[in-house]
Amino acid sequence: MPVKPNAVHRPNIDKLPVELLSHLFTLWSLVDNDAPWMAASVSQEWRRIVLRCPRAWSNISVILKAPNETTEEDRAWCIEEDEELEDEHSPRGKRRPLDLWFARSGSVPIALTLAVAQTHPHIEFRIAECVRVLEAHAPRLRRLSVQLESVPLAEGLFCVLPRLALHMLEVHIQHTPRRGPLRGAHTAGEDPHLPTLWSAVRAAQHVRLSGCFPPRRAPQDALGTESLELHSTPLSVRELAPLLAQHQCLTALDLSEVWGAPFPFENYTPEPVQLPALTRLTIGRVYMDLLTNVFVWLRAPALTHLTIGTGGVTELVWTMRRSDETSFETTARYGAALAEFVSHCPALESLCLMRATIHDRHLVDVLGKVPSLCELRIEDSLVGTPLLRALTLPMSATAATSKKHKPVLCPNLQRLSFKKCDLVVGEHLIALVQSRNRAGSPTTPLTDIHTLRCPNVSVAHLHDLLHAL
């Protein structure tokens, strides 16, 4: 159909159903704090729709940071209701009337983000104002995310917050890192303990803490927490073990960049800690000594997914320079402890090792303890031919049935991934796949093979692997 000159065409988005636009505004608010305010400034139709959509206003953000131009921020208190400033100033990053924001969210559950800087002018007044408004809507609060610059500031904030029962609690405290064998592994001398945390938060199903450490809590409250994440937090085994012992109902545990002083390491082994419901364990960028200690006393019989990341070669070199041990001796204790730990995890299905400072021999011992393993992912680690040969089955039926032949390693393995592994050789990887996928093999066929940035695996090898699958 020809288009008439000078014809006025309305955008197709104005013809979308109200229900679809409401859903789009809600999704927009999940990734953009200014979403409902921006939508209300587009047109009268959008304003009418967004004001009738409480869920679009349910993600509330309070940014209390030092403004670059305080006068303009004060003038543009709510840009969507000031037509003169709308053309002159950007509608983003403005202070919003908190009472109005909560009122427009109606009665739906809400999520609140507090980003507070100590340099903000009149910070005590702003926090008190926020708490005053929050008190009337505390029963609706399901997610609280707090971003602060220091533990004392967080301690003061949780002292004045009303008692809350949350689905998700996030506390992020930004520290200034210092040099160490692990990036960001040493902070300033500030005490990371946050004693007032549970005085405000009565219950939280999911807890994510970065830069701080929680105090002990009432046993009945701890049992309600299903997932716990600790990031960038200096701690010791004497603190970690009692914390985990309290949370018997954990199903997911994430410890990333949690460290103690690497030398001398704390020579202390607590009583075994049982986490009977734990199915997912992620440990990233943690000293081998700390990992070795944790694997001795932690027990997770229902564990299905295990992800481990250490300091890699950097930590290994750093450790050897401060001791008389060889690299094999340094990693032997860690490998033995990991093998002992997974031997108590009969349901383990997925194992991911990142920057693993573990020799092939010890990794083979580990894999011998997990016959149920279906997925193995190795990234940036110095493992190669010995591991591949151990996973490769003998091609002759006589050798496969010989009594002297070792038991099949990982008979249920289906997915195998290598990323940035310089010692993985393409020919050995092809032989592994062919032996496991041949007719009559006692193992489950491999269905997924991924290699990325492995210099000894060429494009020709990848073609051969594709045909072997």
pTM as predicted: 0.84
User: CA 70 to CA 68: how far, in whole Å?
Assistant: 6
User: CA 155 to CA 157: how far, in whole Å?
Assistant: 5
| Per-residue pLDDT tens over the stretch 3-22 | 555 555 555 666 788 999 99
| Per-residue pLDDT tens over the stretch 233-253 | 887 888 899 999 999 999 999
Question: Which residues, including other chains, have CB under 8 Å from residue 196's CB and lie 6 or more apart?
Answer: 154, 155, 158, 159
- Helix or strand (DSSP H, E) at 48: helix 44-51
By mean pLDDT, which of 7-16, 49-58, 306-315, 368-377 is the weakest?
A: 7-16
Of the chain, the end-to-end C-alpha distance in Å amounts to: 52
Contact status, residue 330 vs residue 319, Cβ threshold 8 Å = yes
Between 407 and 38, residue with greater pLDDT: 38
User: CA 31 to CA 109: how far, in whole Å?
Assistant: 17
* Strands (E) located in 102-216: 110-116, 141-148, 164-173, 201-210
Express as a percent the part of the chain with pLDDT over 90.
Answer: 51
| Per-residue pLDDT tens over the stretch 79-100 | 444 444 444 456 676 778 899 9
Between 420 and 117, residue with greater pLDDT: 420
The token duo for 345 is 């995890």
What is the average pLDDT value for the chain, to the nearest integer?
Answer: 83
Mean pLDDT of 277-304: 91
Mean pLDDT of 119-133: 84
pLDDT of residue 4: 57
- Helix or strand (DSSP H, E) at 198: helix 197-200
User: CA 121 to CA 253: how far, in whole Å?
Assistant: 38
Radius of gyration of the chain (CA): 28
